[in-house]
Structure 1
Amino acid sequence: MTFTAPRAQTDALRRNNVTVSGDPNGRPIVLVHGFGCSQAMWRSVAPIFEADHRVVLLDLVGAGGSDRDAYDPVKYDSLHGYADDVLEVLDALDLHDVVYVGHSVAATIGVLAETTDASRFGALVLVGPSPRYLDDEDYRGGFARSDIDGLLDALDANYLGWSADMAPAIMGNPERPELGRQLTESFCAVDPQIARHFARVTFLSDNRRDFSAVRTPTLVLQCSDDVIAPVSAGRYVHEQIPASRFVQLAATGHCPNLSAPDELVREIRSFLP
């Protein structure tokens, strides 16, 4: 007898270009990328977990191999739209006790998914999280409003040029220019119109109250010399989530999944029971 998944489940997996590998009986670990990226960002991380985890990769709608026709500016005018997609993928695969690893803005997406339905999650790993990028009174997100306005204006004026300038700065590690080139190529592969919208949603969001609602055990991983998510943002996240652990990585820049995958994996494994 052949089992046919309900169409809604199949659509969720196709829409987000979901790939599954590793031990089918292992604890599921779901790796989700940030702005301007795709599941390819985990190419040095995912294989390490395949021996004892069911590894799930996906592309946020508009990125990588996702169904770009499914991009709805109304739905994705809030990070909640992406969080809903994550929950649909978990439901389609019937995953429980999930280790959710979210990089950059995907950390916030994971928090929104967890606070909507915590029953699916067993652990959160937030890599370079920032609940708000704009500074606000006693909160330091790292950017003044003029900084964000300038960034968005530059992105609007010349997305490819903005990508070539910003990606290496975001990556850091100037002594390894090949990493900056890899991130630039990833940024340039995104549809500029979608990237402009996603950037506004990302950099103008304020999700501080959502982080304080998390109850799942959480690991907060903060890089050094991160131009996107300063140490103050990571420590704020740690202070807001009662069941959290904060680790300052030796890795520098904003993308340890590319620059320091071994250290990233080691800290995740150390955190998991």
Structure 2
Amino acid sequence: MTPLVLVHGFGTSRHIWRRVLEDVEALAIDLIGFGDAVAQGRAGQTVEDMAQALADRLREAGDGPYRVAAHSMGGKVALLVAARNPGLVSELFLIAPSPPTPEPMDPEGRAKLRAAHGDRDALNAQYHDITVQPIPQQDFAQLVQDGLCASRDAWTAWPDVGSREDISSQLDGLNLPITVLFSEDDPAISPDTIRSEVLGRFFQAKPVVIHGSGHLIPLEDPQAVVTLLAAKERR
């Protein structure tokens, strides 16, 4: 069976996959600047910086090629890893992914996101704003803790640099199965953005649409993720 890797999104860590990992065997990895990789965060880090570090981590594990499931910011990173390293990734599962083009976000939203780092009250408000379903207390506390402990440089780099990047021209030769799981009720990355900037750019991509979840699908509707990944495992 092809090994599975899970990649988290902005501000979180591998712990966002805790409920999925109760039913799926996978390797969950922290992106640089977050979780156990907080010390590797750097000022102005780009999508390419994160992708290179992730690719290096996968090579170190030595069990590829990998099926990669990636959430939010991690989706943009995983796309670049797959494009740059065709022998390393065999399939992508993008979950509420950031698009390869600049993410629609107004200046006020970027400023609010930037300022949330290290601020417990702001982090609480942020995660309530982007979710629809209640998140178990243990998992919500972990989200806030991840935001308090993340590298300030890495945190700031996403609204200022990574989310603004357009990597679409680097993905032209990407040729592998892609599944995109997203919610019609996501308040952070709209379904219209997913349809136009992700599905509209990868014609081989298969959409899987759910309702009633916000942006944090791995915590709000982990069964949707488990069902998707388990169905692929049975093939």
Shorter chain as denominator, the TM-score bin is 0.7 to 0.9
Q: Which residue does 2:34 correspond to in 1?
A: 63
Pair 1:166 & 2:126 matched: yes
Q: Which residue does 1:7 correspond to in 2?
A: none
Match of 1:253 among 194, 211, 214: 214
**Could you tell me how far apart the structure 1 residues matched to 2:153 and 2:216 are?**
24
Q: What TM-score do the two structures reach when normalised by structure 2?
A: 0.86
SS in structure 1 at match of 2:162: helix
SS in structure 2 at match of 1:122: strand
- Change over 3 Å in CA distance of 1:210–1:255 after alignment to 2: farther
Q: Which residue does 2:88 correspond to in 1?
A: 120
- Change over 3 Å in CA distance of 1:150–1:103 after alignment to 2: same
What is the number of equivalent residue pairs in this alignment? 232
- Change over 3 Å in CA distance of 1:72–1:150 after alignment to 2: closer
Match of 2:8 among 18, 29, 33: 33
**Could you tell me how far apart the structure 2 residues matched to 1:227 and 1:133 are?**
18
Q: What TM-score do the two structures reach when normalised by structure 1?
A: 0.75
- Cα RMSD (Å): 2.5
**Could you tell me how far apart the structure 1 residues matched to 2:166 and 2:108 are?**
16
Residue identity matched to 1:108: K
- Change over 3 Å in CA distance of 1:214–1:41 after alignment to 2: same
Q: Deviations over 1:173-231 (max 9, x none)?
A: 2x557465553333223244432233323332233334554211000011132122110
- Change over 3 Å in CA distance of 1:159–1:194 after alignment to 2: farther
Residue identity matched to 1:65: D
Q: Which residue does 1:201 correspond to in 2?
A: 161
**Could you tell me how far apart the structure 2 residues matched to 1:159 and 1:235 are?**
33
Unaligned runs of 5+ in 2: none
Offset of 1:171 from its aligned partner?
2.5
**Could you tell me how far apart the structure 2 residues matched to 1:35 and 1:47 are?**
22
Offset of 1:251 from its aligned partner?
4.3
**Could you tell me how far apart the structure 2 residues matched to 1:268 and 1:177 are?**
22
Identity between Structure 1 and Structure 2 (%): 21
Q: Which residue does 1:187 correspond to in 2?
A: 147
Unaligned runs of 5+ in 1: 1-25, 135-140
Match of 1:218 among 174, 178, 200: 178
- Change over 3 Å in CA distance of 1:183–1:224 after alignment to 2: farther
- Structure 2 contact 34–146 (Cα < 8 Å) conserved: no
Offset of 1:154 from its aligned partner?
4.0
Bigger relative contact order (CA 8 A; separation at least 6): 2
Q: Deviations over 1:51-94 (max 9, x none)?
A: xxxx21211122112251x33325x2x11111111111121122
**Could you tell me how far apart the structure 2 residues matched to 1:152 and 1:195 are?**
9
- Change over 3 Å in CA distance of 1:230–1:43 after alignment to 2: same
SS in structure 1 at match of 2:175: coil
- Structure 2 contact 123–147 (Cα < 8 Å) conserved: yes
SS in structure 1 at match of 2:87: helix
**Could you tell me how far apart the structure 2 residues matched to 1:254 and 1:200 are?**
20
Offset of 1:244 from its aligned partner?
1.1
- Change over 3 Å in CA distance of 1:63–1:98 after alignment to 2: same
- Change over 3 Å in CA distance of 1:148–1:84 after alignment to 2: same
**Could you tell me how far apart the structure 1 residues matched to 2:226 and 2:28 are?**
16
Q: Deviations over 1:5-36 (max 9, x none)?
A: xxxxxxxxxxxxxxxxxxxxx42100010111
